[in-house]
Amino acid sequence: MAKKFVLAIVSSGAEKLTAGGIILSGAVAQDMECKVFLLLGGAYGFRKDFAEGHKEVGDANLKTEEFQEGLKRANVPHWLEFYKKAKEMGNAKFYLCGTAGKIWKSADKEDFHLVDEVCGIGEYISAAEEADLSIII
């Protein structure tokens, strides 16, 4: 039986979305069953009208320009590419918190990148309880 990994994304900062994508890629590479929950800021980050051009860091102590230069220097792709690749490579399913969707745009999964299902917070709680590893970023 595959190990279960749950990633809850609560931030729309590019540095945290990048970190989450890298972590998810590692979990997929280890053949884990992955569930990604887009909660509040995470849901905002995955909006189709926002995500692709989003490069701003969320941590006030970090500088967006310096972060972007570092990504380029290290040949690290835009954060959204990690999630797309993880979904293509393996067992990764994406869930949009219905309340978060309504807050930012709509609870329609077509308004967000990669979303397989819209769910309530209870779905996240249950998945986190059953997971071998659960991370909030």
22, 13, 12, 29: which is closest to 91 by C-alpha?
29
Q: What is the pLDDT of residue 122?
A: 97
* Average pLDDT estimate for 87-115: 93
Inter-CA distances, 93 with 3, 58, 86, 136, Å = 14, 25, 9, 16
Query: Is 34:93 a contact under the CB 8 Å cutoff?
Result: yes
Residue 96: pLDDT band with limits 50, 70, 90:
very high
Q: Is 80 exceeded by the pLDDT of residue 123?
A: yes
Domain that holds residue 95: 4-136
pLDDT of 60: 61
Burial of 116 (0-12, 13-18, 19+ CB in 10 A): middle
Query: Tell me, what's the pLDDT at 51?
Result: 80
Per-residue pLDDT of 37-65, as tens digits, reads 999 999 999 999 988 776 777 766 678 78
Per-position b or e across 73-109, b if 16+ CB within 10 A of its CB: eeeeebbbebbebbbeebbbebbbbbebbeebbebeb
Domain count, the chain: 1
Res 105: pLDDT: 77
Element (H, E) at 60: none
In this predicted model, what pLDDT tens digit does every residue of 62-79 receive, in sequence order? 787 888 888 899 999 989
Q: What is the mean pLDDT of the chain?
A: 92
* 3-state secondary structure (DSSP) of residue 118: strand
Give residue 93's pLDDT. 98
Q: Cα angle at 12 between 98 and 69, to 5 degrees?
A: 155
The pLDDT, as a whole number, for residue 3 is 97
Helix (H, G, I), strand (E, B) or coil at 32: coil
- Mean of pLDDT values over 71-89: 92
Looking at residue 17, which CATH number applies to its domain?
3.40.1260.10
How many residues are present in the chain? 137
**Is there a contact between 88 and 25 (Cβ–Cβ < 8 Å)?**
no
Mean pLDDT calculated for residue range 95-123: 94
